[in-house]
Amino acid sequence: MRLVISGSSGLIGTSLVQATSAEGAEVTRLVRSADAAGAADAVLWDPGQERLDPRVLAGADAVINLNGRNLGDARWSERFKERLRSSRLDPTRTLVEAIHLADPPPRLLVNASAAHYYGDRGQVELDETEPAGDGFLAGLCDDWERAAGEAASEDTRVVVLRFGMVIARGGALDRLLTPFKLGLGGPIGSGDQWWPWVGIDDLVGAVRTVLANPEVSGPVNVVSPDAVRSRDFAKALGRVLHRPAVLPLPAPAARLVLGEMADELLLASVRIRPAVLEGLGYGFRFPDLEDALRHALS
């Protein structure tokens, strides 16, 4: 299998490159720096200027687009929110244009998205058939998925992966560790909100499943079937770290520190299930949160 991966230096991309290469896939990484382009498996591109040679994608079994600036890199000013948008939409549009020009076009575009596509939906359990919710993140994910959908044709199918919080070192989990290690961890806000999550091994497994099942197209929720509330997440992390998880962070305090990000990422309730993956018979390696945390932090 020949794969072209953008965003290969991030948490998900690194794991995916390692796993697929170990299985014998021929992986081409799209990179933005001339230094990185010196590697044998790397090709230079400039998504901001819509520069990508379509021949790089020609005949690929799959193009996997993981580009996107980390949501927690800075407080959400209007300028930073625009950077979040452009870091996702510019690479996607550049890839879509190259896919249309490639001869033959790649068979599949796998595009990243996020569980926050659904917005703050309270206690309602959701699957992939639900429409986009309200808020900045929901609108960003909706625009991102629509941009990827422009690649769809008789020759190219499109799958969008709505990731939950990835349980792995180097991602959002790392930001939660410091207060817990200091004994300051606990639920955020009411603790009633649902937090979608997925172990990194199951995220890679979900991508493998999409690659192996040509009948799959459209959105796929990449989350554990074991949905948890914020308070239960805090308790599980506290047990793994052998630290108390009893000091709540009130919602007003979270908003004071993080601004709009607090409402969209930490206080929003997104209860979703991986209906497509379950329908395909995917067996989760880490369906239990505490097991996934222990594995990630071991």
* Cα 134 from Cα 259, distance rounded (Å): 17
b/e string for 278-288 if b means 16 or more Cβ within 10 A?
eebebebebee
Domain residue spans of the chain: 2-297
Q: What is the pLDDT of residues 104-133, one digit of tens each?
A: 999 999 999 999 999 999 999 999 999 999
Q: What is the pLDDT of residues 213-239, one digit of tens each?
A: 999 999 999 999 998 999 999 999 999
Q: Give the closest residue to 293 by CA, choosing from 237, 232, 223.
A: 237
Q: Does domain 2-297 have CATH number 3.40.50.720?
A: yes
172 CB contacts (<8 Å, ≥6 apart)?
72, 165, 166
Q: How confident is the model at residue 260 (pLDDT cuts 50, 70, 90)?
A: very high
Q: What is the pLDDT of residues 171-196, one digit of tens each?
A: 888 888 888 888 778 889 999 999 99
b/e string for 115-146 if b means 16 or more Cβ within 10 A?
bbbbbbbeeeebebebebbebbbbebbbebbe
Q: Would you call 230 helix, strand, or coil by DSSP? A: helix
pTM: 0.95
Q: What is the pLDDT of residues 6-36, one digit of tens each?
A: 999 999 999 999 999 999 999 999 999 877 7
Single-letter amino acid code for the residue at 59? G
* Cα 148 from Cα 95, distance rounded (Å): 9
